[in-house]
Amino acid sequence: MARQALKPAGGESQMSIVRIALDVPIHTLFDYMVDEAVVPGQRVVVPLGRRQMIGVVMESVVSSDVPHGRIRKVLCVLNDSEPLSVGLLELLKFCSDYYHYPIGPTVISALPTRLRSDKPLVVRRDIHYRLIRDAADSLPRRKSVARRIVEMLAAHPCSLAQIKALSATAGAQLKWLEQEGWVEQCEMSGELPTPAVQFVNAHRLTMEQQQAVDAVTQSSNYGCFLLHGITGSGKTEVYVHLMNCMLQRGGQILLLVPEINLTPQLEGYFHSRFPDVPLVSLHSGLSENQRLDHWQQAQTGYAHIVLGTRLSVFAELPKLSLIIVDEEHDSSFKQQDGLRYSARDVAVFRASQRGIPIVLGSATPSLESYHNAQIGRYKLLKLSGRAKADARLPAVSCVNINQSVMTEGVSEKLMREIALRISRSEQSLLFINRRGYAPVLMCTECGWLSDCKNCAGRMVLHLADRKLRCHHCGLQLNMPTSCPSCGHAGLHPVGSGTQRVESLLQARFPDARILRVDKDSTRNKRSWQKMREKIHANEVDILVGTQMLAKGHDFPELTLVGVLGADSALYSADFRASEKLFAQLMQVAGRAGRADKAGSVLIQTAFPDHPLFRCLERHDFDEWATLLLDERRMAGFPPFVFQAMLRAEGKSESDVYTYLGKARAAAIELKCKVEVFGVVPASLARRANHVRAQLLIQAGSRKILQQFLRDWRIDEIPAPRLHCSLDIDPLEF
């Protein structure tokens, strides 16, 4: 890859000045002298105080404001990885400017962890393999990955990186082939030819799907397309055909998904449709070495498809020709610490920067994207019918819990429907977005509640291991046998979580195969993959799960969805709560009846006549979005205004409110056309013994808000012992 992994800088001749991004919380670049040719994007090791730090060269300059005698020298120039491209540096500069976050941490955080170290990488010889035996048909049928490797090498020798991009198990299968005498290592000179794209066209597109594909592929430059398709309408099939078109042109595709759990099945699906195309994933579940390997495969152009979560929006892709953001409405695309960026919005800017199309896909688009489509900023593409001719949208109905017989939060009607599905050998899903046994433990004598001593929240009862756990700070205590306040033994769990629902179902249906899917049950590596295989093999009768089961999954035998505890979002102070609830319920409802069997959805609620549930029953997102947009327009909420939130937290309540009070006074003094609200406690006013408060700024245009934020200069306001952050376009309040 490189001639030299680590080259010391030396000598005094031909010294030049470079500006370098360092991982320090200061809004500036640092000037250093270097005596050799460097290019923007190159990693270097520099002294800072008494430390050595990794930095990225951003630009070369003729002169510096720093006196010549005080400019220090670059210690080493690292040549163990290709420099970051100019395009990626420009993207990172935009993020630093728009989100008002220091340029150094912005640039460094975009690198794989291994590239953030000042220790040089071990530069390995690029290993290639060639085929020495033929007839892949003689391989055992279970060796499907080995067959694909042999078929790939039959065309020409390939690099180790290209082979490993075929599958997560390709490395192990390659070793087996080498041991069995099928392949051998070889020396290669020159650039390897790019393999022809083999596309397995497994499905015939519907007319709406074909129109969507044509609209995007006929776009010769930047265009943002909102693909609004109902659940089961075949959005993934549209993605596949778009990817095929771009791959045939020699381009790379970046596909963003909101959660790690969605990547394994999508990887498998894309491998089945493009068996010879190198594909890599990028997410936090990879080891440091894996992430570096995948990132470099994308950077060199080996990987033609990159599938990843929000951080992969910063992946190096020299031949990028299409960006797809699946489930674009999902709040997981918004980073909630450090550089608080929205991967969806950054992806839109990146597509505009590169002059390529971007597709935002969702069954329930965010109101911001939907509004942009309504005013013509985005082009709306609709998929109004399910892709499978014999598949129909599930029948959605509400169960009035005020008029129903309830057993620990589950209605008898829902129980009867579950029993009916078991008799038919069909699957049921009970959705409750709360893990643990019960949200709180209460004393029936004095009213004591299991409050967390570190947070302004409750400790959740986990009955299986008899623990009380705070899901905010991680505090864990043994379950008390009597009330800590009055000593009474009558402690009672209040409310339901996934574990309590699971226990209830086990008692009601002792012979049923019940599977709980939540953060607790999928903690171990590969546990979720094994669970998914059991569900697909119809080895599960009843699923109990959180939002992990709500999106992106296709379970053919699942015909009933029951929703528990949906009303809590209707009481929320967050103006986005009902939007999020509708999207969540629409998604989980879409898991039912995706094949040839009719699906049903029962939503337990005390408010069956609420407009949200009425629109859900009709599967009418457009009506619900119109209602919400009218409310937001009258109330002056996004997308009709633009917001920034200044947050502060610390151990001293006085320090937190004094700092935010000074920031508010400074904002008012600027006399800009912005609305400055009062300082208020955060929704969780205390977490891990830290007091939390916030200050909201609102403006009628993005330009006015950005100019105000540049003039505000909050960095100059003293903030001793506080953790402060500025959140542009906040999603959480």
Phi, psi of 702 (to 5 degrees): -65, -35
Which residue from 718, 679, 671, 683 is spatially nearest to 696, judged by alpha carbons?
679
- Reduced 3-state DSSP string for 267-305: HHHHHHHCCCCCEEEECCCCCHHHHHHHHHHHHHCCCCE
Tell me which residue has tokens 């195309």. 277
Contacts of 201 (CB under 8 A, 6+ apart): 244
Report helix angle 621-635 to 367-374, nearest 10.
90
Rg of the chain's alpha carbons, rounded to an integer? 28
Domains 207-383 and 395-438+495-623 share a fold: yes
CA–centroid distance for 439 within its chain: 26
- pLDDT value, residue 182: 83
| Residue pointed to by tokens 């993005």 | 702
Supply φ then ψ for residue 681, to 5 degrees. -65, 150
What whole-number distance in Å separates Cα of residue 327 and Cα of residue 365?
Answer: 8
Residue 405: both structure tokens together: 């017989």
CB 38 within 8 A of CB 77: yes
∠ CA 510-515-520, rounded to 5° = 125
Please report the pLDDT score of residue 92 as a whole number: 97
- The topology (CATH level 3) of 642-728 is Alpha-Beta Plaits (3.30.70)
Q: How many whole angstroms from its chain centre is CA 201?
A: 29
What architecture is domain 6-116? 3-Layer(aba) Sandwich (3.40)
Identify the segments of the chain with pLDDT beneath 70. Answer: 1-14, 120, 122-127, 134-137, 161, 165, 187-196, 387, 389-391, 525, 551-553, 594-595
Q: What is the pLDDT of residue 12?
A: 46
Alpha carbon distance 371, 360 (integer Å): 13
DSSP element (H, E) containing 320: strand 320-326
Residue 130 DSSP SS3: strand
pLDDT for position 592? 79
Query: Which residue has tokens 């005390």?
Result: 606
- Name the nearest CA neighbour of 417 among 443, 435, 438, 395: 395
Q: In terms of DSSP H, where are the helices of 20-143? A: 86-98, 103-109
* DSSP code string of 150-208: HHHHHHS-EEHHHHHTT-TTHHHHHHHHHHTTSEEEE---SPPPPPPPP----SPPPHH
| DSSP code per residue over 480-516 | PSS-TTT--S-EEEES--HHHHHHHHHHH-TTS-EEE
Q: Which H helix or E strand runs over 229?
A: strand 223-229
CATH class of 395-438+495-623: alpha beta
Contact 473, 451 (CB under 8 A): no
Note whether 409 and 495 are within 8 A (CB).
yes
Residue 730 has, within 13 A of its CA and on its CB side, a CA count of: 20
Q: Which helix (H) or strand (E) holds 235?
A: helix 235-248
Tell me the CA end-to-end span of the chain in Å, nearest whole number.
Answer: 47
Residue 132 and residue 185: Cα distance in Å, rounded? 10
Q: From the CB of residue 635, how many other CB atoms can be counted at a distance below 10 Å? A: 10
183-186: strand order across its sheet: 158-159, 128-131, 183-186
Residue 635 phi/psi, 5-degree rounding, is: -85, -15
Beta carbons within 10 angstroms of residue 275's beta carbon: 18
Contacts 24+ apart (CB under 8 A), 613-616: 613/398, 615/582, 616/396, 616/582, 616/585, 616/586, 616/589
Token representation of residue 212: 């969507």
pLDDT of residue 328: 96
Q: Which of 335, 333, 337 is nearest to 348 (CA)?
A: 333
- Predicted confidence at residue 522, as pLDDT, reads 81
Task: Determine the pLDDT at residue 10.
Answer: 53
Domain boundaries, the chain: 6-116, 128-186, 207-383, 395-438+495-623, 642-728
pLDDT tens across 196-236, in order? 677 888 788 999 999 999 999 998 899 999 999 988 788 99
Per DSSP bridges, beta strands 542-545 and 467-469 are unpaired
Take residue 389 and report the two structure tokens written for it.
Answer: 């001719």
Superfamily of domain 207-383: P-loop containing nucleotide triphosphate hydrolases (3.40.50.300)
| CA pair distance 653, 696, nearest whole angstrom | 18
CA atoms within 13 A on the CB side of 5: 9
Residue with tokens 């020709």: 321
Number of H helices, E strands in the chain: 19, 33
Instruction: Say which residue the tokens 């069995």 belong to.
Output: 180
Q: What are phi and psi of 37, to 5 degrees?
A: -70, 125
Q: What is the pLDDT of residue 193?
A: 54
